[in-house]
Amino acid sequence: MRSIIFFYMISIVSAHTTLKLLLSKETAELHEDLPQLSNKRRCLRSNNNMGSIIKTFLSKSTKPIETWKYLNISEFCYFCRYKKPFVKKYLKNEKLVDNYLEVLEEIESIVNILDMNCGYEWDYGVRGLNKMDAITWIHNWKKKEIESKNFSKCEFNLQRQSFISISAGAMKQSYLLAKAANLLKYQTSLIALATVYEDMNSIDNHIQDCFHLVNALSHFRPDVCTSVFGTVVKKICPRSCKLIEGRIVQTALNDCCGDCMNNILDIDENTMDKIDLFPYSSWKEI
């Protein structure tokens, strides 16, 4: 009975959703997430993201880079000379099609696997909160007062089930179980998954297509399309991945390195604003 009640509670949530609060400029300003880079257009990502942004640029979905180091501005700007690889990766003429319904179904399957096998602790308590409790939770998380949990037992169980599914010929189920097991290693990715899934099922959801999904996840980690989420979003939302990832890399290099990449990508002003800026200004409008 508890499972049914909890599932209903987190599936039909109020219009605010914790994700919207996380994606607000007020949250970023309160917790000093805004970079001190340039007075011009800014991507409004953390200035500690330089290493992960370069990892994003150099990674491939078939050969992701798992780790990165902190880069200073000089090391970061070295990659301005990589214009040809940038053009090859982000301007390659290819027909890419997003499938939002498919990615929604896959995310829902992974969340259900985690709920059924790991209890409801994997989300670090971020789901099902009212607005004031969500603000408190965000404050605690940003201040690193929410400690990482050890999900090794659940991870091992999911890996075991994945191997069993392979033996039974259930390749899709095996893939989903393995993906869920891998996510348990990363606190930020689990929180991103939980808040995104809650929003996708809310009354007034922010995420309604692949573009908004990939863009929201990129606020948690810019390497969303080549990280632990890569095989999910890059495979099903390739067009949005290419567009948003390219814009993040280009804007970060321009902001830090005197517009060294110029405006290589041909993106309209409205789309640039959606990627560069926070979708919500203050908590009051949420």
pLDDT tens per residue, range 224-280: 888 888 888 989 999 999 999 999 899 888 887 888 998 899 889 999 889 888 889
Q: pTM of whole model > 0.95? A: no
pLDDT band at 94 (very low <50, low <70, confident <90, very high): confident
Structure tokens at 85: 């690889």
Q: Report the percent of the chain where pLDDT is more than 70.
A: 85
What is the arithmetic mean of pLDDT over 3-13?
43
SS3 280: strand
Give the C-alpha separation, 197 to 199, whole Å. Answer: 5
- Asked whether the predicted pLDDT for residue 208 surpasses 70, the reply is yes
CB 286 within 8 A of CB 131: yes
Residue among 210, 155, 161 at smallest CA distance from 186: 155
Q: How far is CA 245 from CA 5, 63, 178, 242, in A?
A: 38, 16, 25, 5
Give the C-alpha separation, 137 to 16, whole Å. Answer: 14
Give the C-alpha separation, 101 to 251, whole Å. Answer: 30
Cα 64 to chain centroid, rounded: 16
What is the arithmetic mean of pLDDT over 94-119?
94
Residue among 178, 169, 163, 154 at smallest CA distance from 231: 178
pLDDT band at 36 (very low <50, low <70, confident <90, very high): very low
Predicted confidence (pLDDT) per residue in 46-90, tens digit? 455 777 788 888 877 556 566 666 777 788 889 999 999 999 999
- Asked whether the predicted pLDDT for residue 43 surpasses 50, the reply is no
Give the C-alpha separation, 236 to 232, whole Å. Answer: 6
| Span of 2-6, 106-110, 179-183 with lowest mean pLDDT | 2-6
Specify the pLDDT at position 56. Answer: 84
Using only the alpha carbons of the chain, give its radius of gyration: 19
Question: Across all residues in the chain, what is the average pLDDT?
Answer: 85
